Amino acid sequence: MSNLSPVWGNNEVQFARLLCEIAAAEELLNWPEIRDSMSLEDEDLHELFDRARIVWEKAMKEEA
């Protein structure tokens, strides 16, 4: 896997990336089930995805 970017081994960045990709497929997801399984309110779940997006975007800027 030597062709992967230097941030591949950074779990924080990759978990944020995964959440961003999941959010991009939102029409396929059962948001209420995810929210309820995490015992969150709607705004809390949205905040988590926003925080993940911020981490991912910051990592991509640092890598560039």
- The full length of the chain comes to 64
> 40: number of CA atoms within 13 Å, CB side?
15
Asked if residue 1 belongs to a domain, the reply is no
Q: Is residue 23 part of a domain?
A: no
Q: Is residue 43 part of a domain?
A: yes
Task: Look up the domain containing 62 and give its range.
Answer: 29-64
pLDDT band at 2 (very low <50, low <70, confident <90, very high): low
Residue 12 lies in a domain: no
In a domain, 18, yes or no: no
Q: Output the pTM of the full model.
A: 0.74
Q: How many domains are there within the chain?
A: 1
pLDDT at 1 over 70: no
**Position 46 in a domain:** yes
* 37 or 3, greater pLDDT: 37
So what's the pLDDT on residue 42?
92
Burial of 40 (0-12, 13-18, 19+ CB in 10 A): middle
**Mean pLDDT of the 37-64 span:** 89
Angle at 29 (CA atoms; ends 26, 34), nearest 5 degrees: 115
